[in-house]
Amino acid sequence: MLILTCPCCHVTAEETEFHAGGEAHLTRVGPGGAEDAFESYLFMRQNPKGVHLERWRHVYGCGKWFHLARDTATLKVFGAYSAQTTEPPDHIRAAIRDQHPDWQWHGAS
């Protein structure tokens, strides 16, 4: 069971109070986008064993979306941050690199 802290309302609770929303930092394809790009946006997701940046929603709390960095193999949570950010904050990156020195941020996909 994951214990998560919402960065919006600062409530700490079990993962059952939240809802996972998939991979974070995806770039949406606009109306004029190519079919291949739209297909990739809809169906092609990273599913790494290790560090993963995800979207979560505090369903039974403030209702806001946020991003979470965690290790999918160990379930270690590195931290949560606002969904309005375009990349993980420096303190989250540092926490990840403490455990995974070779990890690199690859930008929005």
Residue 27: the pLDDT is 84
Model's pTM, two decimal places?
A: 0.88
* pLDDT tens by residue, 46-105: 888 999 999 999 999 999 999 999 999 999 999 999 999 999 999 999 999 999 999 988
DSSP 86: S
Report yes or no on 109 lying in a domain: no
Residue 4: the pLDDT is 97
Burial 29-62 (b: 16+ CB within 10 A, else e): beeeeeeeeeebeeeeeeeeeebbbbbbbbeeee
Report yes or no on 56 lying in a domain: yes
- Residue 83: closest CA among 98, 99, 63, 100: 63
Q: Identify the band that residue 109 occupies on the pLDDT scale cut at 50, 70 and 90.
A: low
CA-to-CA distance for 28 and 36, rounded, in angstroms?
Answer: 13
Domain holding 56, by residue range, is 20-27+36-99
Report yes or no on 70 lying in a domain: yes
Report yes or no on 57 lying in a domain: yes
Tell me how many domains the chain contains.
1
**Cβ atoms of 26 and 32 closer than 8 Å:** no
Report yes or no on 65 lying in a domain: yes
Residue 43: the pLDDT is 87
CATH number at residue 47: 3.30.2270.10
Residue 17: the pLDDT is 97
